[in-house]
Amino acid sequence: MDYDVIVAGAGYGGVTCAALLAIEGKRVLLVDKNPSAGGKVMTVRRGGYGYELWPIAGGPSEDSLFHKLAEVLGEDLDDLIIQPDIAGEYRYIRADGSVAIAEFSARPSLHPEVAAGLPEAFGATDEDMGPLMDFVNYVLTVDVDAHKELETEDLLSGTRRFGMAPYLEAYLFVSLGLAFAAPIDRIPMSEAILTFREMALAGGGRYGRGGYGRLAELAAAKVTACGGTVLMNTRVEQVLVEDGRAVGIRTTAGDTYRARCVISNAGIQPTVLKLTDAGAFPPAYVETVRELEPSLSFVGNRYWLDEPVLTQPMLMQFSDESWWDEERYRRAEAGEWPAHPFLFFAVPSLFDPDLAPEGGQMFMAGTLCSPDPKSPMNQAAVEAVERELFATFPEIEGHAVRKQAYTALHAANASRDQVVPGQGGECIGIAQVIGQCGSTKPDPRTPLPGLYLVGCDAGGVGCGTHQAVDSGFKVAGIVAADLG
């Protein structure tokens, strides 16, 4: 055998798993089709700017799995992890057009000053605070494992029980809709509670010095430092199967590599429906995988400004109409956008000043959208984001010297292949919706012995990149135990 383990894909899930196994002394081959590690979070460095392909910041902020990964890699946490006191602002557009603004911190939102900030800024009355506090207390104390019914109760109904004021619901729904990239009447309470709890107790808005993808680059370097091999710009074409077991990979260049097991970070659907001969799996498994639903995508524009205009690292702007349940999402998909679409933007150099040249500023603005790379919703979303952005910050238009759209097609090109109609450009992976989370989430061990899944499709819980790293830790443990 050439290796103990081949990891196909160096997104945060794959690279975490590869580094941990290499540190344990396993002979690891890590392969990715992209030029550097990070997957969707790959940090791009061009013309003095540094920015991610997409993701912006992570949660939880404190004591996160990113901290744990950095520690395992032997990296200096202070050098790597940035948790700004002011991470950004929420802008809530009321029905009369007036705007309430609340700053938020990357510190825990239950810190008394921070917790009071948003309701105060939004003009909460004592009457509004009661249901909010009931909701917060419930979320912090309920035993999710003991209440299996929370896996089938959706976030919209589960929250409505508390009778919160619409603007507090809107704040919760846009935040959690963004964290999971899914309509909020499809997200299970179980998953929402775990993530809300983490963010409440440990904050959100963590970034990485040198770019959010830098920790992934350091993890890939660790694989090499531990005697493993890292092949970038290398696409896996096929998972090799012999005698009913995954035994290696063949790349598009025609090279084959053999190992005791293969761990795929390429997505469950591409892995099962494209990279591996379908006959290697029970037919019922293949059908279940085909039916899995992708998360939504996140689509918008990057803008380069000829002078720094923005002052906050992040912004979330919304009205009572901006959050999406299934019905609102379908309406937007059909071209009926709300008057104020949800608008999110982030400015990497306001986290780390070294990520922009003197006098310049670059930021990414976007909104949720269909994951289908071919959907006309992509173009509509790019236009809706720009309209809302320029209407809110008219000064930006005159300073934008360059812009670049990013759509579900770009996400698919950099991360996973489209193998099922409507899938490919998903922001997270398979959607964290009822029937695909908790006890119903795909198992990292596939029915094909020797083939495992890592990343947001299996093994982890949480928001975006944090879920990917969680999966990396858990799958490394499973594989290490199986290999003995």
Footprint on this chain of ligand FAD (rule: CB under 6 A): 8-14, 31-34, 39-41, 54-58, 235-236, 265-266, 298, 411, 415-416, 427-429, 455-456, 463-466, 468
Q: Which is nearer to ligand FAD, 170 or 431 (CB)?
A: 431
Q: Which is nearer to ligand FAD, 260 or 274 (CB)?
A: 274
Could you tell me the smallest distance in angstroms from the CB atom of residue 437 to ligand FAD? 14
Could you tell me the smallest distance in angstroms from the CB atom of residue 420 to ligand FAD? 15
Q: Which is nearer to ligand FAD, 305 or 411 (CB)?
A: 411
Could you tell me the smallest distance in angstroms from the CB atom of residue 67 to ligand FAD? 14
DSSP tally for the chain: helices H, then strands E: 17, 18
With contact defined as beta carbons under 8 Å apart, do 408 and 375 qualify?
A: yes
Q: Locate 337 and state its tokens.
A: 């956008």
3-state helix, strand, coil split of the chain in percent (to 5) is 40, 20, 40
At which residue do the structure tokens 């979330």 appear?
316
Q: Which is nearer to ligand FAD, 10 or 405 (CB)?
A: 10
Could you tell me the smallest distance in angstroms from the CB atom of residue 365 to ligand FAD? 11
Q: Find the residue with minimal CB distance to ligand FAD.
A: 11
Q: Which is nearer to ligand FAD, 8 or 114 (CB)?
A: 8
Could you tell me the smallest distance in angstroms from the CB atom of residue 127 to ligand FAD? 34
Q: Which is nearer to ligand FAD, 23 or 275 (CB)?
A: 275
At which residue do the structure tokens 């040198």 appear?
210
Q: What distances in angstroms separate CA 96 from CA 51, 127, 171, 172, 338, one per listed residue?
A: 36, 21, 17, 21, 15
Q: Locate 102 and state its tokens.
A: 């609340």
The residue count of the chain comes to 484
Contacting residues for 137 by C-beta, under 8 A, at least 6 apart: none
Q: Which is nearer to ligand FAD, 238 or 392 (CB)?
A: 238
211, 251, 318, 193: which is closest to 9 by C-alpha? 251
Q: Locate 265 and state its tokens.
A: 């970070």
With contact defined as beta carbons under 8 Å apart, do 44 and 91 qualify?
A: no
Could you tell me the smallest distance in angstroms from the CB atom of residue 318 to ligand FAD? 16
Q: Which is nearer to ligand FAD, 301 or 319 (CB)?
A: 301
Q: Which is nearer to ligand FAD, 164 or 365 (CB)?
A: 365
39, 33, 2, 36: which is closest to 472 by C-alpha? 39
Could you tell me the smallest distance in angstroms from the CB atom of residue 424 to ligand FAD? 11
Q: Which is nearer to ligand FAD, 175 or 190 (CB)?
A: 175
Q: Which is nearer to ligand FAD, 132 or 362 (CB)?
A: 362
Alpha helix (H) residue ranges in 148-233: 155-160, 166-180, 189-202, 214-225
Could you tell me the smallest distance in angstroms from the CB atom of residue 300 to ligand FAD? 8
- Looking only at the bridges linking them, the beta strands covering 3-8 and 81-82 are unpaired
Could you tell me the smallest distance in angstroms from the CB atom of residue 150 to ligand FAD? 22
Cα–Cα dist 299/409, whole Å: 10
Contacting residues for 16 by C-beta, under 8 A, at least 6 apart: 69, 219, 454, 468, 469, 471, 472, 473, 476
**Rg from Cα positions in the chain:** 22
Could you tell me the smallest distance in angstroms from the CB atom of residue 468 to ligand FAD? 3
Contacting residues for 182 by C-beta, under 8 A, at least 6 apart: 295, 296, 431, 432, 433
Ramachandran assignment for 60, one of left (phi > 0), alpha (psi -120 to 50 degrees), beta (any other)? beta
With contact defined as beta carbons under 8 Å apart, do 477 and 69 qualify?
A: no
At which residue do the structure tokens 């404190």 appear?
62
